[in-house]
Structure 1
Amino acid sequence: MSAIFSPIKLGKAVLQHRVVLCPLTRFRATPEAVPTDLQVEYYKQRASEGGLLITEATFIDILAGGYPRAPGIYNQDQIEAWKKVTDAVHEKKGSIYLQLWHAGRTSSKYLNPNQEQVVSASDIAITGKNMTGDDYEVPRPLEINEIKDIVKQFANGAKNAIEAGFDGVEIHGANGYLVDQFINSGSNKRTDIYGGPIENRTRFALEVIDAVVEAVGAERSAIRFSPGEDFQDMKDESVVETWSYLTSEIQKKHPNLSYLHFVEARSDKVGEESNDVDTLEPYRKIWKGPFISASGFSNSTKEAIALAEKTGDLIAFGRAFIANPDLPERLRNNWELNKYDRSTFYTNEATGYTDYPFYGTKN
């Protein structure tokens, strides 16, 4: 039996395989950020016995980011709606974690209830256009007391997720969003205890982990990182040192954390060719618990299986899991994969969301 189809203990569950649905923003919630029946069906389709699903990024507060029709986890309507999702996944004997999200400077004030200014570590805007077609705004640097409040919001979001029936939560510390904006030296020019040396720039991330662990327990807590990624103007002057420090601190303080999830910066493989460069190895050597790798494996499934064999990693798939609700079985049996339709990734309908066929069936 190959490693990717072997059991592994993760949090309070024993998974039966290591094929993971990675977090994928899909904009199928209501305008009020409440999950819908479409999302119930989507996650149910992709659940498998002993498999792990990680939800799309989910806002911890109404001011954590104004992405239209992205879900939240900060009020009772959202909690009740998410319960339908977790019940559906558990009926198929799967596990599901919710990803906790604060978008920081990537959002727009025009998407906030009263046009509140977007916030970040420092007053540095992203270059280019935001989702409204306007220039990215210059964010307002958070005050220390506001940072403490956001830490509490992450903890409250974690508690709400457990109330909604999730098996655990994954803190979104990657891809240029708020936690990542503090970590990277290119977006964090603060001169207080949250800026400057690595120990200060990583303080917010580590405080969020501490708070979430205190709220729901280490075995229900995880975090995602993307060291060296340049998406949304991320840039750090000492990538390996920064994320090695983070990983070491987590290993020291929270060795029972459910897992660490790393996105490799080289994240859009094409074809099935092998690549000897493994930029995640420094962190894998430090962390002793379950390790999830994400690295554009949808177009390189053979490499994904080989990496799991070599390292024992769980492997997160995005686009391939969008188009193949039965992806674990397709990989296990070497069945042909459906092709994904990128034009439907960010629409609001069932098309391109819940209508991809299982193997041996037709639409």
Structure 2
Amino acid sequence: MSDSILFKPAKIGAWDVNNRVVMAPMSRFRADAKTWVPADYAAEYYGQRNTCGILITEATQMSPDAVGYPRSPGIYSDEQTAVWKKIVSAIHEGGAKAVVQLWHTGRISHPENRPEKDVPFAPSAVAPQNMQMITDEHGMVDFETPREMTQDDIDYVVESFAKASANAKAAGFDGVEIHAANGYLIDQFCASNTNLRTDGYGGTVENRMRFLREVIESVATVYDKGNIGVRFSPYGTFDDIHEEDPVGMFEAQLKTAEATGIGYVHVIRPEVTGDNDTAEPFEHADIIGLTRKHYSGVVIAAGQYTSESATAEISEGRADLVAFGRPFVANPDLIKRMQNGTPLAELNRDTLYIPGKVGYIDYPAA
């Protein structure tokens, strides 16, 4: 596989990359439990994996109220930004482009996890069904019904994306990925079961895209649009998203990305939902084919790819880059292993989200 197009340098959109492999964003929950500052050893973790073409960080809160889970990092304070600067330097040392994924969790939160201990807000007052939220103090707890966002709330979040983007630029990030997947706030605005609004942000699928469009335009006040991406999870049901017309919603998301002129879209195939593989295959549209049909920019494909299937996807012109997630956790030298055909190390799922260095920076190279 060493001569695969997957491993060759290329000019992709706004960036020259040393290969077409992307490290996908993966939450690891090692940040400080009170300040949401990334762990002081996070730079080592990212530095171990810095030989990919583009490295996208774990989902990162763009404001204090965006917090959903314990120990997830933020980039809204000076202290947080200073640590991210060290992380970016470690990423750049291996030649990878550094991209921060910005998120707001919306209703996927709990007062116990939030700085102000307040009830989270969402597009509509609809609580997640048949789910619980993890907390450090009391373990799994029931979700509370979120507060419906006012126009002031919406304006505040949109503006906060720009402020976080300014911090990302100060930290040296090459770009920003907007998290519009997996049932978090932007996905909640897009989906019909979580957006019951009757104003200009709800009702028609076009109206449900308005919040996404405003967030993109906000980030674009800081970064050139070519350095901005959005991640989507069509057909995804993670975090109790149940869209009545998944193809229609995805096409609307792609058309929004196209109209705003952003540099790339990052699409998760339905073979993966959240941090799990889909238990049983189901019939769905050709997600990557739909992406090419409705979007003319750079396409990053994700979801249960191997080096062989990734090579085929790129060679056939369906995707420009392919993202790998969990394989990067257990294999910091994933690029070299795939090039040489070396078997991949097995992931220990028990250490994915626990605090500390174990299962984080102690996976050895081959």
Q: TM-score, normalised by structure 2?
A: 0.91
Residue type of the partner of 1:258? G
Residue 69 of structure 2: aligned partner: 67
Partner of 1:326: 333
**In structure 2, how many angstroms separate the alpha carbons of the residues matched to 1:277 and 1:341?**
32
Q: Does 1:246 align with 2:253?
A: yes
1:309 equivalent in structure 2: 315
**SS of equivalent to 1:83:** helix
Measure, in 2, the Cα distance between the counterparts of 1:136 and 1:303.
Answer: 39
CA deviations over 1:284-313 (Å, ceiling 9, x no partner): 22212211111133xx44333322332243
Instruction: After TM superposition, give the deviation of residue 269 of structure 1 in Å.
Output: 5.7
Structure 2 residue matching 1:17: 3-state secondary structure: coil
Offset at residue 89 of structure 1 (A) = 1.4
8 A contact 1:184–1:236 mirrored in 2? yes
Identity among equivalent positions (%) equals 40
Q: Give runs of aligned pairs for residues 130-279 of structure 1, distance below 5 A.
A: 130-132=133-135, 133-254=140-261, 257-267=262-272, 278-279=286-287
Are 1:291 and 2:291 matched, yes or no? no
Is the 1:189–1:195 contact (alpha carbons within 8 Å) kept by the matching residues of 2?
Answer: yes
1:258/1:289 contact within 8 Å kept:
yes
Letter in 2 for 1:259: Y
Letter of the structure 1 residue corresponding to residue 329 of structure 2: I
Alignment of 1:95-106 (within 5 A): 95-106=97-108
1:4 and 2:6 correspond:
yes
Question: Is 1:45 matched up with 2:51?
Answer: no
Q: Which segment is superposed worse, 72-81 or 8-17?
A: 8-17
User: How many Å separate the matches in 1 of 2:247 and 2:330?
Assistant: 34
Moved more, 188-197 or 59-68: 59-68
The answer to whether the 8 A contact 1:3-1:312 is kept is no
Q: How far apart, in 1, do the equivalents of 2:260 and 2:26 lie?
A: 29
Deviation, 1:40, is 0.3
Write the distance in 1 (CA, Å) between the matches of 2:47 and 2:14.
21
* CA 1:100–1:269: 2 relative to 1, 3 Å: closer
Distance in structure 2 (CA, Å) of the matches to 1:280 and 1:141: 34
Could you list the runs of 5+ residues in structure 1 that have no partner in the other structure? none
Q: Report the secondary structure of 2:16's partner residue.
A: strand
One of 85, 110, 113 as aligned partner of 2:112: 110
Residues 68 and 106, structure 2, Cα contact 8 Å, conserved in 1? no
Deviation at 1:66, TM superposition (A): 3.9
Query: What whole-Å deviation, never above 9, does each CA across 1:144-165 have from its counterpart, x for those lacking one?
Result: 1210110011111111101011
Q: CA deviation at 1:210?
A: 1.0
Closer, same or farther: CA 304–209 of 1 in aligned 2, 3 Å? same
Letter of the aligned partner of 2:311 in structure 1? Answer: I
Aligned to 1:77: 79
Cα shift at 1:218 = 0.7
Deviations 1:119-170 (A, max 9, x none): 1111111112111312111111100121011001111111110101111110
Following the alignment from structure 2 to structure 1, what is the Cα–Cα distance between the partners of residues 251 and 285? 17
Match of 1:89 among 74, 88, 91: 91
Matches of 2:77 and 2:248, distance apart in 1: 38
Instruction: Tell me how many residue pairs correspond in the alignment.
Output: 352
In the alignment, the residues of structure 1 paired with residue 356 and residue 330 of structure 2 have an alpha-carbon distance, to the nearest angstrom, of 15
- Residue-by-residue CA offset, 1:42-100 (whole Å, 9 max, x unaligned): 0000001x621000000011111242211100010011110100111112222110000
Output the CA distance in 2 between the equivalents of 1:35 and 1:186.
34
Bigger drift between 322-331 and 110-119 goes to 110-119
Give me the whole-angstrom Cα distance separating, in 2, the residues matched to 1:114 and 1:269.
Answer: 34
- State the alpha-carbon separation in 2 of the partners of residues 147 and 312 from structure 1: 33
Cα distance change, pair 324–88 in 1 and its aligned pair in 2 (3 A): same
d(CA) in 1 for partners of 2:19, 2:315:
12
The farther-off stretch of 7-16 and 140-149 is 7-16
Distance 2:351 2:226 in 1: 35
Which deviates the most, 284-293 or 192-201?
284-293
RMSD: 2.0
CA contact (8 A) 1:97 1:168 kept: yes
1:20 counterpart SS class: strand
What residue ranges of structure 2 are gaps of 5+ in the alignment?
Answer: none
